[in-house]
Each structure stands twice: as structure tokens, then as C-alpha cells.
Structure 1
Amino acid sequence: MTLLALVRHGQTDWNAERRIQGRTDIPLNDTGRAQDLLAAEALRDGGWQRIASSTLGRATETAEIIASALGLEPPATHPGLMERDYGVAEGTLVADFHARYDGGVPVPGAETHEELTERALAALAEVVAQEPDAPTIVVAHGGVIRGLLGHASNGALPRPGERIDNASVTLFRMTDDGLVLAADERESVGAGRGA
């Protein structure tokens, strides 16, 4: 069984503007870097032994900030932890995205929620397989964490309208039975609520 802390990267300018980022590689802003330091502080006494991240710059920089603050080796990167590919919706305002695509309307060129969750689960399994007993911090993205929460809670989480905050931390365990939340109720620490 492996304890996993899933951390959403710190804020970017597109997060502040409420734009769909997806695979567009927008860097952290100063607020995001400060959020990452707060997340590192919240993780400080967790016995974390290693850190992994998405290959997108905003996640790798978050992972590097946390690793440096906690005295961990530099993060290993995994493409399977990248954010959802939003196709033609990349860069649109979140409000416009929901107005156009809510209600099951497919986004042209986008990865489905099911594809995203399957990819993220495979990436986590790969990370865990490298050191199965090492408590691990994994820096990823809002869509990835949302998909994993949905999977681990059988669709109960996140609740409707609930956001995955920048630099928030949500705890999971990878067991022989698969990915589960770290407690009966979602446990979260850090700069924001876990989802």
C-alpha cells in the first residue's frame, strides 16, 4: 500500500483569468509559487520520500519548489500525469466552456473524462511500481485530480460545483484493490481544500 499526496500545481495567469489550460503550457505566476511553498509547509511532516510530476512546466516547477523545500530529490516526470487535452476549448474562458459544452456535448478534439482517468490511473500505477512502499507526492492538474477523485469515490466526489484549488493536496492510497481515498472522508491539507 502506498500513500500518495496529489497536489495541484500553483496558480498560473490563465487560472487567475479562469481560462481552460489543458495541455497549453502556461507557467506559474508569483501567486502560484507562493501557494506551492504553503503546500510544501503543509506536507512537511508527512514522511514523504519522493516526488513525481506531470511533464507540463507548471507542474514540474511546483514539484521542484516542493522538493527543494522538503529536501527531496528532484521530481521524476511522467507524461501520463499531464492535464486533459481540451481540444478546441483550450484557452476559452471557463464560463464560456460550460455554456457551450455542459450537458454531455462533446468537445471537438478533446480527451474524454474516461480516457483521462484511465491514463492517470495507469500513470499512478507506474509511479507506485517504482517504489511501492515509498510515500509519494504527485504533482498534477485539476482535471487529473478530479478524475481520480471521481474514480476513488465512485462518482461521489468532487461534489457539483466544487473546485480543485491550486496547490491543494488530496490524500490517496494505492492498494492491491486499486486507488482509494486515504480515509472514509476525503483528507486534505495544504493551501486550499482538496477539491
Structure 2
Amino acid sequence: MLIGLIRHGQTDWNLIGKIQGRTDIPLNENGRNQAKLLADRLSQDTYTWDYVISSGLQRAEETASIIAKSLNIPLLPPDGRLIERSYGQVEGTTQEERVARWGDQWRDQDLGQETNDEVRARAMQFLQDMSGQHSNSNILMVSHGSFLAQLYLALFQERFQENIKNLSFTVLEKRDLQWSPILYNCTRHLEETNV
């Protein structure tokens, strides 16, 4: 089984550095173009994909829909476990606003945000369920930056820690009971066209 992990395309909040969390911000035009570029790449890739699934937030759903339509594969109903981390009071703020309100150590304060352990637990439960239900399929999953970062930390500890870019593409292969990375945080499809 392969699972392709995709961060949604760009939004206006991404451009200005606002934390989105569960705030339901749509893709901007560049984000839609990014999704089309990844869909083009996937249509020429050596892997065959059977399904696409996303979180219930519109930026992920629209990214998934663009890809599913381009690849002519089913778009599964959204899975709430793939939703972005809840950031509580921090949602909708820029780095400058966060530091002004709560100081440099804002991440260490209880501002209503979901914990790393909570995000990791639902991410791992999703992977376990997918490998049980679709063990003979290859699935594309469209989610969110912090969610994906926590999933990678749950799977690989400190091995992968770079920033998860918009429309990045990671491929994991299930071998026995382990997930192994084949590709990590790749944005080749965007870099070739300077998007």
C-alpha cells in the first residue's frame, strides 16, 4: 500500500503568514494552479492512485477535488481526523501579532491549541484505519501543514523536520507493519514552473 500525503494549495492567509488552524480559508488562485500542477505531475508519475481523501476544510477539499478530477479517480468523503490542528486564540494571527500578544514563547502557553500528542494520535489512527480498509489500494490524502508535520514526527521521530510547503508531496509505503518514506516534502512540480 502507498499513501501520498499532500499539503493543500496556497491561501491568502498563507501569503501573509497568518495561522489558519481550523479557520475555513479557501484556496487562492495560485493555490488552485498549484493543485493543477501536482495533478499534472501525478498523471505522469509511475505510481497509480486509486482514491483521494481530504479533511473537511475547503482549502484541502478543493485541492483534493482538482486532483481527483484530473486523475479521474474517486474522491472519498472527507475524514475529520485529517483536519488541521486547532490553534485556539492563535488562529488568524501573524508571527508579529503572536509575539506582541504572548511573547516569543507563545507556543509553550495554553492558548486553546490542540496538543502535539492529540494531533499525532488521530493521524496515526487514520493511517491504521486506511491500511486496514484499503490495504490493496494507493491513496492520496490532502491535509494541512501542522497535521502532516506531527504525523511525520510520530512516524519518524526527529528524522524529518523541515517546513511542510504548500502542495508538497510525500509518499509512504506500508511494508509489513512499518511505513517507509519513498519521497518526502517534494515540490518539484512547483519549482519547475516557478509558481
TM over 0.5: yes
Amino acid at match of 1:123: F
Deviation string 1:67-98 (CA, Å, 9 cap, x unpaired) is 00111112331000000000110011135446
How far is 1:120 from its partner?
1.1
Structure 2 vs 1, CA of residues 192 and 128 (structure 1 numbering), >3 Å: closer, same or farther?
farther
Corresponding residue for residue 125 of structure 2: 122
Q: Are 2:141 and 1:138 aligned?
A: yes
> Which residue pairs with 1:156 in the alignment?
159
Greater helix share, structure number: 2
Partner residue in 2 for 1:171: 171
8 Å Cα contact 1:39-1:190 kept in structure 2: no
Stretch moving more, 39-48 or 96-105? 96-105
Alignment of 1:17-28 (within 5 A): 17-28=16-27
Q: Following TM superposition, by how much is the alpha carbon of 1:187 offset from its aligned partner in structure 2, in angstroms? A: 6.8
Aligned residue in 1 for 2:182? 182
- Number of residue pairs aligned between Structure 1 and Structure 2: 187
Deviates more, 1:114-123 or 1:91-100: 91-100
SS in 1 for 2:41: helix
Read off the aligned partner of 1:20 and give its amino acid letter. Answer: I
Aligned position for 2:67: 66
Amino acid corresponding to residue 91 of structure 1 in structure 2? G
Backbone CA RMSD of aligned residues: 2.2
> How much has 1:124 moved relative to structure 2?
2.3
Counterpart CA distance in 2 for 1:157 and 1:28 is 26
CA distance in 2, matches of 1:71, 1:57: 20
Relative distance call for 1:115 and 1:192 in structure 2 (3 A) is farther
Gaps (5+ residues) in structure 1? none
Deviation at 1:192, TM superposition (A): 5.2
**Could you give the per-residue CA deviations for residues 106-155 of structure 1, whole angstroms, max 9, x where no partner exists?**
33211011111111111222233221110110000001111112122222
The one-letter amino acid paired with 1:86 is Y
Q: Is the alpha carbon distance of 1:80 and 1:34 closer, same or farther for their aligned partners in structure 2, counting shifts above 3 Å?
A: same
Give the secondary-structure state (helix, strand or coil) at the position aligned to 2:13.
Answer: helix
Larger radius of gyration: 2
Q: Which runs of 5+ in 2 are unaligned?
A: none
Give SS of 1:76's match.
coil
Letter in 2 for 1:38: L
Residues 14 and 20 of structure 1 are in contact (CA less than 8 Å); yes or no, is this contact kept in structure 2? yes
